[in-house]
Amino acid sequence: MVRKSLIAGVALAAVASLSLSACAGSSAPEAAAGTTDTINAELWYAPATFDPAKASASSDVTVARLGFDTLLRQGETEGYIGGLATDWEAVSASEYTFSIRDDATCADGTAITPSVVAASFEYLVGLEDSGALTWKNQAFGSGTPTFTADDAAGTLAISLSAPYSQLLGGVTRPGTGIICPAGIADPEGLAAGTVDGAWSGPYVLSDVAAGVSAAYTLRDDYDAWPAWENVEGVPAETINLTVQADSNTSANLLQSGGVDLARFYDSNALRFEDDDAYTTVSFASSAYNLVFNQSPGSGSIFEGNLELRQAVAQAIDPEGFNAAGLDGLGVEQTTVNAASYRCAVDGSSVIQQYDPEAAADVLAGQTIRLLIMSNWDPAADYLAESLRAAGATVTVAAPDPADWTAQMRTQPETWDVAVAAENAESGLIHTSIARYLGPTYPEGGTNVAGSDNPEGLAAYQEGMAAADAETQCAAFEAAQESILERVDMTPLITDTHRYVAREGFATYVFSGYWDISAMRITS
């Protein structure tokens, strides 16, 4: 999601020592030299939950990957590789089968059978939580899934009441991580991270200081790593994750050895660009869009007013937003997500061009409620001042990630236009399309705009039901064009994040997705 998404760990005393070490100097630290079994990294925000099914903010999603395995994983360069599944088949757009590996266990020793996987999925689809609805729709589409487990054969069959051509990609997502029976039996403990037997992944949560840090410990009995071919080094016995919201501080800590890896969205990453003591991987992290609230009865000025939506799009210069919020390191975006996505349409001929004078003719005297996530003042200021320059009165709300998510999804009466940060790592273009058409979150969908777009919805549904990739793309492209023409949203920029590791450590990006569980100690 938005700008930051690493992780937190170490206790309060360790946090203090890291702060001190940040002042020690700027020269590169010595390599690990085989003397450590620990990786120290960061999170921009504290996790709000450790229940993967309810993960919504970026930090929730990041830590879910450490503790909970998924059926499939992103391939290193394309496609998928096995997670808890060893084989899989898309029989049709509504019928899928998986063979579950026979050697995977939960942290308490419980075997991960097809029945355990089915029970975890049943838990996910039975939740009314908005985060769970997102994962349910990504994994199984808008219909009702049926899970048939055959423990003797080691297989799980998934049948869908509505065709959904993207299921294989959906079950790679962290929010579909398999929760073991002990966690399902204690949802409150699961969310708090206190159920020892809940974990199906390589790590268990071993310590947490609310709002400050979290520490994860590698399971002694874990042997279900994906078949990565290019991952070098050994997994850490301990991963300490401290919450750090300031990018400059992160860079200082990385240079002094206070942390081993850090994620950057701004020019602080360039401090390590020409230094052989550091390695960098990059990836599209978030696709930033302006979403226009058109929910009936919400009081939004954009409901039923295309001219106003067009004017706001004309008032905002994407490159100005890029400079203010991302130090100019973002890349052009012309549709609902990154241009690198399969089936992404080039909407440059459809979207509104920057024209502040034309915008002022329409926006003068209007009052606009802008919603954006906290800790991003430069971007918020740029957007607000651009609209004010066009004559609008602008109020800005910048809640924390959890509240921002809640307002976007279920409180349309609180905002008119919002900055949405679409995850740009999943590779699933249909999930971004569904943000702007179909049912809303209260209705069981993911439409945050509250827009009514039957033409776009029909194209989207055609793509979801199609068995072949060419038909899927043609339909998804038509849906995107409809959204852009209606100005249900307007693209801003795609930010490129850089993950920098100091000597002795490594991290990896698979098919555009940064995977925290693949952090390694290399010397």
**Where residue 148 sits, what CATH number does that domain have?**
3.90.76.10
Do residue 509 and residue 480 come from a single domain?
no
Residue 128 lies in a domain: yes
Residue 328 lies in a domain: yes
pLDDT at 19: 33
CB 73 within 8 A of CB 226: yes
Write out residues in the chain with pLDDT < 70, as ranges.
Answer: 1-34
Do residue 150 and residue 262 come from a single domain?
no
pLDDT at 403: 92
Do residue 298 and residue 378 come from a single domain?
yes
Do residue 64 and residue 171 come from a single domain?
no
Do residue 401 and residue 487 come from a single domain?
yes
CB 69 within 8 A of CB 180: no
What range does the domain containing 54 cover? 12-68+193-283+497-521
Do residue 311 and residue 454 come from a single domain?
yes
CATH number, domain with residue 274: 3.40.190.10
Residue 182 lies in a domain: no
Do residue 464 and residue 504 come from a single domain?
no
Do residue 421 and residue 460 come from a single domain?
yes
Residue 185 lies in a domain: no
Do residue 427 and residue 329 come from a single domain?
yes
Length of the chain: 523
| Number of C-beta neighbours around residue 411 at 10 A | 14
Do residue 312 and residue 394 come from a single domain?
yes
pLDDT at 467: 80
Q: What is the DSSP letter of 227?
A: -
- Spatial CB neighbours of 403, under 8 Å, sequence gap ≥ 6: none
d(CA 127, CA 176): 13
Residue 1 lies in a domain: no
Fill in the amino acid letter for 256: S
Residue 34 lies in a domain: yes
Number of domains in the chain: 3
Do residue 328 and residue 428 come from a single domain?
yes
What is the crossing angle of helices 401-410 and 130-140, to 10°? Answer: 70
Q: pTM of the entire structure?
A: 0.76
Residue 24 lies in a domain: yes
Tens digits of per-residue pLDDT, 351-369? Answer: 999 999 999 999 999 999 9
- Spatial CB neighbours of 114, under 8 Å, sequence gap ≥ 6: 98, 100, 149, 150, 151, 154, 155, 156
CB 384 within 8 A of CB 371: no
Residue 187 lies in a domain: no
Query: What are the beta bridge partners of residue 158?
Result: 96, 147
CATH number, domain with residue 413: 3.10.105.10
Do residue 138 and residue 277 come from a single domain?
no
- Residue that terminates a domain, selected from 127, 150, 176: 176
pLDDT at 203: 98
pLDDT at 15: 30
CB 198 within 8 A of CB 190: yes
